[in-house]
Amino acid sequence: MKKILTFLLLVLNLQGIAQDYSIEFQDQNIPSTSTFRAIHVFNDSCIWLGGTHGNYCFTNNGGKEWKKAVVPGAEKLDFRDLHVFSKDHVVLMSCGNGLDSRIYVTKNGGESWSLSHQNTFEKAFYNGIDFWDEQNGILTSDAIDSKPYILITENAGESWDRLKPQFIPDLKEGEYAFAASGTGIVTRGVGEVWIATGGMHSRIFYSADKGQNWEVFETPIIQGTSTEGIYSFFIDDKNRAVCVGGNYKEINECKGNVILSTDSGKSWKLADGEESVAFKECVHQLEKNVWIATGPSGTAISRDNGENWKEIDKRAFHTMDYDAKSKTGFLAGDQGLVVKFHLKNKEL
């Protein structure tokens, strides 16, 4: 039986017109008990999930029915990110040290899979992927040396090559990325990419030309131990960015877990209400001024561009994605927990 929760938000838009926002949550019947950290809402009908034990699930009717399968040969792997090009063409990324970090590709909706890439470096641990278009994509991993280990594809994930490390700024000691929700790496346009790091140091690596040249920017998010830092990054078309994170060993601690930028991630400040936000692993914009963040501590909404937040659901999730056209999104977490949500609004 579907459980429906409604949360009303009063928001003022730039013209000063009041908006009534209603977020409706609907539990999904997922035929899997895997932990899901990989998700892509391709549109309001086609949604894919990747999880533990080589599991993936998908729906082509907006969540009315879900199908589950296991990628052959990946039964012990943990899928941490994926990208959907169409209901038939999907790229799955697994994480893990050494050979467990892999890329699988299907072009027939999961009827068959090809292992297009397998890591061979013991220290590498794949964290996330994203694509600029149907051919060009980028992958970030834990380092194998003093530089971020970044791979690039020009053929939709069929093969991957390392970017030349000499053009990438050095990592600081104890700095790496988190494979928590697949949203620590974000592409935009024809060549922009942002990669968030954490640990002893939590920064933003930025390239405007598909990784040929890089800049790196400091952030004020909580950092300084191996479990702290940025877990998720999102940027809108107005160059406003929000990062969330914290310390995954202290999921209820509210201390420097949300930071904001208005200049494409070059400079950052702590959110005004950061002392009320517990650990989050994923953030997304819903509407102009309206943002959602989720994690093991629950789900929260901001109606003022990330400055202040209100908790609206206490269930633990790891990741989410959202289709702005249909105003429909999905949250995913442990033990097959997946929830659909829909944003409704009307002028008062």
Q: What is the pLDDT of residues 16-60, one digit of tens each?
A: 334 557 789 999 999 999 999 999 999 999 999 999 999 999 999
The predicted pLDDT at position 344 comes to 83
The predicted pLDDT at position 1 comes to 43
Query: For residue 261, which of 218, 209, 319, 322 has the smallest C-alpha distance?
Result: 218
Q: How far apart, in whole angstroms, are the C-alpha atoms of residue 211 and residue 129?
A: 13
Q: How far apart, in whole angstroms, are the C-alpha atoms of residue 254 and residue 334?
A: 22
Angle at 340 between CA 337 and CA 342, to 5 degrees: 155
Q: How far apart, in whole angstroms, are the C-alpha atoms of residue 67 and residue 209?
A: 38
The predicted pLDDT at position 345 comes to 74
- Average pLDDT by consecutive 10-residue portion of the chain (348 residues)? 41 39 91 98 98 98 98 98 98 97 98 98 97 98 97 98 96 97 98 98 98 98 98 97 98 97 98 97 96 97 96 97 97 98 73
The predicted pLDDT at position 14 comes to 30
Other CB atoms within 10 A of residue 10 CB = 10
Tokens 């001024």 found at: 289
Whether residue 205 contacts residue 254, with contact meaning beta carbons closer than 8 Å, is answered with: no
Distances (CA, A) of 194 to 107, 231, 266, 335: 28, 13, 11, 31
The predicted pLDDT at position 348 comes to 38
Q: What is the pLDDT of residues 238-255, one digit of tens each?
A: 999 999 999 999 999 999
pTM of the entire structure?
Answer: 0.93
Query: For residue 236, which of 171, 170, 188 has the smallest C-alpha distance?
Result: 188
The predicted pLDDT at position 19 comes to 57
DSSP 8-state class, residue 172: P
The predicted pLDDT at position 37 comes to 98
The predicted pLDDT at position 61 comes to 98
98 CB-near residues (< 8 Å, 6+ apart): 119, 120, 121, 122, 124
The predicted pLDDT at position 250 comes to 97
- In the chain the domains, ranked by start, together with CATH numbers, are 4-347 (2.130.10.10)
Distances (CA, A) of 126 to 60, 132, 184, 187, 231: 28, 19, 11, 17, 14
Sheet holding 192-196, edge to edge: 185-188, 192-196, 203-207, 215-218
Q: 17-44: buried (b, 16+ CB within 10 Å) or exposed (e) per residue?
A: eebebebebebbebebebbbbbbbbbeb
Tokens 């914009």 found at: 285
Q: How far apart, in whole angstroms, are the C-alpha atoms of residue 160 and residue 105?
A: 13
The predicted pLDDT at position 170 comes to 98
